Structure 1
Amino acid sequence: MYLGITPSVSCSNTTENEFFLMLDKNPLVDFVEELPAGRCSLCYCNLLCGVIRGALEMIHLAAEVTFVQDRLKGDDVTEIGITFLKKLEDKKHKRQK
């Protein structure tokens, strides 16, 4: 939403806790012409995975968020895989009197 894009969502048929976000346009790619020589394993847009994982943790959901496809590496779309691991406990701290 903050990047001005709307991803397509694809669910995995084999598991109920996994889905994929496909980005036809990734605004972070606009700032990179090509990956540096010798750094082809660099995942420049991994920032998006961290943002998604952090947002899910804020609502008490642990998830593994990884890149499946990346436009910077020659793929047609940017695809992010999200696997829910568990619901985190809400640890509210009681005030000591």
Structure 2
Amino acid sequence: MEREWIKASLCARKEGKPEPSYETFLQQWNSAPLFTRLNRKRKMMAIHLYRRAGLRLVARRWFKGGCDLGLATLLEPRYVFSRLKMQMLR
């Protein structure tokens, strides 16, 4: 959630608006329609799983890392493939 708050603060700053406090951000976040909240949770979970997969794969925990990567791909394939593509180009 803090990552999303930082993104919202950066967007507000770019638009010349005051940055929202964390409490204000949470109120706005929780007042969104149900579908929007579920979609946000899906994306946040995919990012979390992708990062955890990376840590597990580096630690040679192949099965759990592969499961995390697979779940992240199911939840948000565009994110996973764009990240993998960027990492392959390094």
Q: How does the TM-score come out when normalised to structure 2?
A: 0.31
Higher relative contact order (CA 8 A, sep 6+): 1
More helix by share: 2
Higher strand proportion, which one?
Answer: 1
TM-score under structure 1 length normalisation: 0.29
